[in-house]
Structure 1
Amino acid sequence: MLFDTHVHLNVSHFKDDQQEVMKRAEEAGVKYMVVVGFDHETIPKAIKLAEDNENIYAAVGWHPVDAVDFMNKELQWLEELAEHPKVVALGEMGLDYHWDKSPKDIQKDVFKQQIQLAKKVKLPIIIHNREATEDIIEVLEQENAAEVGGIMHCYNDSVEYVDACLAMNFYISLGGPVTFKNATLPKEVAKYVPLDRLLIETDCPFLAPHPYRGKRNEPAYVSLVAEKIAELRELDVKKVEEETTKNACRFFGINY
């Protein structure tokens, strides 16, 4: 049994074969998924998928790239959605210093607002991080994000930051990059993170694992992430599947 903790089945890449993709995931042993909404278009679609499918849940948040578009009405909207019984986390939120659409100070402000909301509604958070690790950890510490905990989504940084994340009640989630031939950082992290704080994901349609790298990713491929982690940790793959699924269910408050 597998739990893909971060999917984007709510984007246009799946508009023509969404049901077929979900069927392939089921056949691959993926029982649970969290669909992540991150803007005006994808959030309602995440909610709808969760409402229509028993083992699909939703996370709702505002992506840092679009922080300049975040106003008080968006914050109020997220607060209302947080009451939905299938919404299990707020996010993805965080900082993205790769793109320059939203200035860093605005990104930080929107990030802080969402952490404060998470504490108010008592939901954990999902972190998007691109080239901003030290600033993200600083904001999380300043805002006492440990109160709700969270996931470092698709973690792709060095081991040196892992302990700081674990100390704040965060889980480390690994995706397709752990299978890439020359990706040393996620491989080191896969061996370092305590098994009871490890999660797996696809981030589909992005970051497809080997041998599908460069193609559209889909939830069924999360099994390849589990297999690689099992290889790196010298564990039976069933053990990795079981433990990461238990971890995700515990984190999201879902009956295992």
Structure 2
Amino acid sequence: MIIDTHAHLFYEDIVKDIDSVLERAAESGISRIIIPAVDYKTSIRTLKLCDKYEMLYGAVGFHPCDIKETNPDDIKLLEELTSHHKIVAIGEIGLDYYWDKTYIDKQVFFFKEQMELAKDKNLPVIIHTRNSTSDAVEIIKQSYNEKLKGQFHCFSGNETDLNEILKLYGFYLSYCGNATYKKFGDLNSLLNTPVERMLSETDTPYLTPEPHRGRKNEPSYLKYTLKKIAELKNIDNNVLEETVYNNCMKLFFTI
């Protein structure tokens, strides 16, 4: 069994084909899929999908690239959604210094506020850190206690960042389909990430792994990423899948 911890299935072009997408996922060994929202609208879409399909679970949150029009009071809207029985995390949250650096202070504010919400609701966080991992780690360390736990999704930090994260009990890392690319730039971090601290994800519809690169990504392709990671780390693929599955269950589905 495999869990895709990060698949944005709320996009309209995916929703219209969702039955086929989920059928292919199940056939490939996927047992559960977590849909991380990026704003309030996609949080609502996520809840509707989770209500309709047994294998789907959700995370609600404000993505750092989607907070320009977001107000502090909107955190209360997220809090209301966390009562849904299939919400398993707060996310996708974090910092993004790649697309726009003009509102970093606002990104930091919402990152901190959503981490506090996660601690209050005893939910893990799903963290986005594009070109911002070091700053994100420092902010997490400021807020860290035994209630704060989560996932560094699509990890792209350096080895110093990795070592700092590994000191934070309850935090895991995941790598996407770009791990299958010839010019994968985060190989050293991947090789030095203990399997016991790894999760599995696709980041659907992005970062499609080889041999399907160029197509829209989907959960059924997760097996290609895991196979490549097992190859790079020189471990048995079945051992990797079992360990990562247990990690996913521990973080998101163990009460």
Kindly report which structure 2 residues correspond to 1:4-15, keeping only aligned pairs within 5 A, or say none: 4-15=4-15
Q: Check conservation: 1:206, 1:217, Cα contact below 8 A.
A: yes
Q: How much is the aligned-residue C-alpha RMSD, in angstroms? A: 1.6
TM-score under structure 2 length normalisation: 0.94
1:126-205 matched pairs, under 5 angstroms:
126-144=126-144, 147-169=147-169, 170-185=171-186, 187-205=187-205
Distance 1:158 1:47 in 2: 35
In structure 2, what residue type is equivalent to 1:174?
Y
Gaps of 5+ in 1: none
Shift of 1:107: 0.7
SS at match of 1:68: coil
Q: How far apart are the structure 1 equivalents of 2:29 and 2:67?
A: 36
CA gap 1:254/1:144 in 2 versus in 1, 3 angstroms: closer
Percent of aligned positions with the same letter in both sequences? Answer: 37
Determine the C-alpha separation between the residues in 1 that align with 2:2 and 2:223. Answer: 7
Distance 2:47 2:101 in 1: 27
Letter aligned with residue 197 of structure 2: R
Report the alpha carbon displacement of residue 119 of structure 1 after superposing the two structures with TM: 1.2
How far off is 1:73 after superposition? Answer: 3.4
Structure 2 unaligned blocks of 5 or more: none
Whether the 8 Å contact between 2:2 and 2:32 is mirrored in structure 1 is yes
Letter in 2 for 1:171: Y
The alpha-carbon distance between structure 1 residues 93 and 251, as it changes in their structure 2 partners (threshold 3 A), is same
- 1:33, CA displacement in angstroms? 0.7
How many residue pairs get aligned? The number is: 254
- Retained in 1: the 8 A contact 2:38–2:66? no
Counterpart AA for 2:152: M
Which residue is 1:211 aligned to?
211
Q: Is the 8 A contact 1:13 1:205 kept in 2?
A: no
1:36 equivalent to 2:43? Answer no
2:199·2:248 contact (CA, 8 Å) conserved in 1? yes
User: Take 1:69 and 1:97, find their aligned partners in 2: how far apart are those partners?
Assistant: 18
Alpha-carbon displacement from aligned partner over 1:62-111 (angstroms, at most 9, x marks no partner): 01012222213320011111121110000110001112275111111111
Which residue of 2 is the match for residue 234 of structure 1? Answer: 234
SS of the counterpart of 1:77? helix
Runs of 4+ in 1 over 6 A off after TM superposition: none
* Counterparts of 1:101 and 1:27, CA distance in 2: 42
Q: How does 1:16-165 map to 2 (within 5 A)?
A: 16-100=16-100, 103-144=103-144, 147-165=147-165
Query: What letter matches 1:177 in structure 2?
Result: N
Query: Which amino acid is the alignment partner of residue 110 of structure 1?
Result: F
CA distance in 1, matches of 2:102, 2:61: 16
DSSP 3-state at the match of 1:95:
strand
